[in-house]
Amino acid sequence: MLIGYARVSTDDQNLDLQIDALKAAGCEKLFTDEGVSGAAVFKPQLEAALAYARRDQDIVVVWRLDRLGRSVRDLIEVGARFSDMGLGFRSLKESMIDTTTASGRLFYHMLGAFAQFERDVMLERTEAGIKSAKAKGVRFGRPPTLSDAQWNIARELLDNDPPRTVSDIATLLNVSRQAIYRRLERDRSQVDAASSHQSV
């Protein structure tokens, strides 16, 4: 059986395009999430679809890959989960993504290899940045606050696609997660204050 999954990020977006495409593709059962971001770890109706699906029998179908996640890493993790559950996976827009075929499985494995390469390169760049900062006298302890140089590195990693987790960044910089969260909150407060001042 083909099981369709559709998602929109906000309640005012329309699911009709996705639903029509999934029905036209032969999906007999549909699950839809409304107002759920692609970055959300938990997607209620996707979980319901996976609970409904039968091992070694059913195929999960989406209109487009970004309905499942925003980054290659997200997609690889979801695809691995489908595989562990014995479920096929197919994307209508990216027709080469069909894990029920040999070529589709090969392409998905290639995506995984590229994602791992991206993570390795990111780690190498981070380590090089840390070495450079140390050579300039930056101290990497666990201070109560981040130095500007450490924050610049942390912010770059947070802005990457896919972003590094706060835990990963704290480990790389040898600082506490709380220090990163405090700096994020401080910057956010400064932006809000600037916006309020401009609106006055």
State the catalytic residues. Answer: 9
Beta strands in the chain (DSSP E): 2-8, 29-34, 59-62, 88-91
In DSSP terms, which residues pair with 76 in a beta bridge? none
Question: What are the tokens at 23?
Answer: 């029905």
**CA count, 13 A, side-chain hemisphere, 186:** 11
Tracing tokens 């606050």 back to the chain, one arrives at 145
Enter the DSSP assignment of 175: -
